[in-house]
Amino acid sequence: MTGCALAALGMFGQSAGAAPKPNILLIITDQQQANDMSCTGNPWVKTPNLDRLAAGGIRFERAYAANPVCIPSRFSMFTGTMPSAIGMEDNADEKKVFVPTNILRQSMGTIFCAAGYHTVYAGKVHLPGQSGVCGNVAAYGFEEHLVPHDFEGRTPTVNACVNFIETNHTDKPFLLVASLINPHDICYLPLRDELKATKSSKKLPPLDLKNVDEAMKLPPGVSQEEFYSKLCPPLPENFKIPARELTAYMADQYDNYLGWARRNYNDNQWRMYRWVYARLTEHVDGQIGRILDALRNAGLDENTVVIFLSDHGDQDGAHHLATKGYLYEESTHVPFLVKWEGVIKPGQVDTNHLVSTGLDLIPTLCDFAGVPIPTALKGRSVRPLAEGLAVKDWRTYLVEENNSARLVRFGIWKYMVGNADTVTPAVVEKLSLYHPVYPVWESLVDLKTDPGEMNNLATDPVFQVQLQKGRRLLQEWYASHDLKLYPQYVVEKWY
């Protein structure tokens, strides 16, 4: 049964009041880290369209994904539920998990369909379904799937979104999800490099590498020497591998292009990676600009809430790491912009409040639309924050997950515990190239003095109080959210 069919059974009611509901435009990019916008002060990328969106509303500086890979993160965003609630740890779990009907009943499209919205989805899906069926947006309550054959959210998706905005003349307000692929194409650069370097017999799947090849081109008339001396981004400040990095959590355990890039990329290859990543971001910024222009040209700016975010970030060379999946800031810290002309004061930056893009997105959308928030959801709406209202008891700590670790951030601290079962003796031997002490299954980082996350303080006696607090808060979070914290993540011992 589809989400809208569930809604038709009366599982959600219409909100009271006669005020017209705003349209909602939700723009999602894939693999864009929080500072991958020029409005954050990044001099190596130009994102004029995201900049104008931020200038017209509010940017939440402390927004984090529930899980730093596509399918778990998107599941959380579209259901308001932590991925571990259904055993979703990684993209590889997409055909193993089953999404219960009670969770689909509280999914984004289902809620808004019941509230009288025309629910429309365009572009990349990556949502787990039932019985191993992935990508069924109808199960999440979306009545219309624009260009469903464009699985990767490329130009056909943008064209379809623009056409929908220009030609939508129904009396219903709309919820339009524009799910775009880039800068995700950066994944294909180290993948192709690894296959070439190892002379692998594997063949690349039919990927669209056109954007990567275009991004690798040097500007006209620029020599290699000038390119690397003046134009190409430098290595990140936290480029080195920490001496006490959490071993359960490293790329070295992967026998694929991720581990290969970490062990084999030279400095210029990492810098080229960063150059390409920035160009791919600029490419998708241009696509976002087309959608925003269509909204403005259709005269819908004043009655449309626009929210922009990404499913997760990218390491972009930090700690010798490519792509995503790690509980470092680069992978989990994501952009989150909200604009509603005439309602949200423009030009704001919220640097105080922890936001979970997985848990808080649906409550936020409901709040702006005047739709009741399902009581089962544990997230909170950021609308009061966006409107400058006083908010009591905002969360003081936040949990993130991946396939081999759990993390809680509180104050200036990040506490993480890894799953020792995910690291084999062979991997430990390989890790000995980098690390002098084993095993390291916990991490404690002071983000104020160490924003690059280079120093693991977990075994330092000076910080045992913070370590114990991290352990306790992690356990409290799962209990308060009615979730199971697996035994391998519960640590009681003292070093």
- What pLDDT sits at residue 435? 44
**Which helix (H) or strand (E) segment is 416 a member of?**
strand 413-418
**384/292 Cα distance (integer angstroms):** 24
| Length of the chain as a residue count | 495
- What pLDDT sits at residue 426? 60
Higher pLDDT, residue 1 or 16: 1
Average pLDDT value for residue range 394-410: 96
Same domain flag for 386 and 422 = no
- What pLDDT sits at residue 420? 66
- What pLDDT sits at residue 419? 80
Q: Find where tokens 């222009």 sit.
A: 293
Higher pLDDT, residue 142 or 170: 142
Same domain flag for 23 and 87 = yes
Q: Answer yes or no: is pLDDT of 395 > 90.
A: yes
Q: Answer yes or no: is pLDDT of 254 > 80.
A: no
Higher pLDDT, residue 44 or 247: 44
Within 13 Å of residue 440, how many CA atoms lie on the same side as its CB?
Answer: 26
Of 378, 396, 414, the last residue of a domain is 396
- Find the range with the poorest average confidence among 132-141, 195-204, 348-357: 132-141
- What pLDDT sits at residue 62? 98
- Find the range with the poorest average confidence among 154-158, 252-256, 414-418: 252-256
Same domain flag for 78 and 13 = yes
Distance of CA 155 to the CA centre of its chain: 21
Longest Cα–Cα distance in the chain: 66
CATH (domain of 27): 3.40.720.10
CA dihedral of residues 36, 40, 46, 48 (deg, nearest 10): 120
Q: Answer yes or no: is pLDDT of 437 > 50.
A: no
Higher pLDDT, residue 18 or 283: 283
- What pLDDT sits at residue 495? 46
Give the strand pairing for 336-339 and 58-60: antiparallel
Of 396, 420, 436, the last residue of a domain is 396
Q: Residue 418 is part of which domain span?
A: 399-489
Q: pLDDT per residue over 118-156, tens digit each?
A: 999 999 998 987 755 567 899 999 999 998 877 778 899
- What pLDDT sits at residue 126? 86
**142/103 Cα distance (integer angstroms):** 15
- What pLDDT sits at residue 246? 80
Q: Where does the pLDDT of residue 436 fall: very low under 50, low under 70, confident under 90, or very high at 90 and above?
A: very low
Q: Is there a domain that residue 91 lies in?
A: yes
Q: Is there a domain that residue 107 lies in?
A: yes
As for how many domains the chain has, the answer is 2
Average pLDDT value for residue range 355-360: 98
Distances (CA, A) of 208 to 115, 184, 311: 38, 11, 20
- Find the range with the poorest average confidence among 52-66, 243-257, 388-402: 243-257
Same domain flag for 410 and 387 = no
**Average predicted confidence (pLDDT) for the chain:** 90
- What pLDDT sits at residue 16? 39
CATH (domain of 459): 3.30.1120.10
Q: Find where tokens 């006490």 sit.
A: 244
Share of the chain above pLDDT 70, in %: 88
Q: Which two tokens stand for residue 415?
A: 């506490």
Average pLDDT value for residue range 419-424: 66
Same domain flag for 358 and 467 = no
Q: Is there a domain that residue 256 lies in?
A: no
Same domain flag for 438 and 379 = no
Same domain flag for 472 and 342 = no
**111/45 Cα distance (integer angstroms):** 37
Closest CA to 473 of 412, 420, 407: 407
Same domain flag for 476 and 330 = no
**358/379 Cα distance (integer angstroms):** 8
| Cβ atoms within 10 Å, residue 200 | 11
Closest CA to 473 of 419, 385, 399: 399
Q: Is there a domain that residue 209 lies in?
A: no
Average pLDDT value for residue range 236-257: 79
**175/143 Cα distance (integer angstroms):** 10
Q: Is there a domain that residue 246 lies in?
A: no
SS3 state of residue 278:
helix
Q: Is there a domain that residue 217 lies in?
A: no
Of 368, 396, 424, the last residue of a domain is 396
Give the strand pairing for 413-418 and 442-446: antiparallel
Q: Is the peptide bond before 439 cis (omega within 30 degrees of 0)?
A: yes
Using H for helix, E for strand and C for coil, what is the string for 84-107? HHHCCCCHHHCCCCCCCHHHHCCC
Same domain flag for 42 and 144 = yes
**Which helix (H) or strand (E) segment is 304 a member of?**
strand 304-310
Q: Is there a domain that residue 205 lies in?
A: no
First CA to last CA across the chain, in angstroms?
A: 52
**41/211 Cα distance (integer angstroms):** 25
Q: Is there a domain that residue 231 lies in?
A: no
| Cβ atoms within 10 Å, residue 188 | 19
Q: Answer yes or no: is pLDDT of 4 > 90.
A: no
Same domain flag for 105 and 141 = yes
Same domain flag for 140 and 44 = yes
- Which residues, at least 6 apart from 102, have a Cβ–Cβ distance to it below 8 Å? 376
Q: Answer yes or no: is pLDDT of 438 > 70.
A: no
Reported pTM: 0.93
| Cβ atoms within 10 Å, residue 140 | 28
Same domain flag for 66 and 138 = yes
Share of the chain above pLDDT 90, in %: 74
103 in the Ramachandran plot: left (φ > 0), alpha (ψ -120 to 50) or beta? alpha
Average pLDDT value for residue range 277-292: 98
**25/21 Cα distance (integer angstroms):** 13
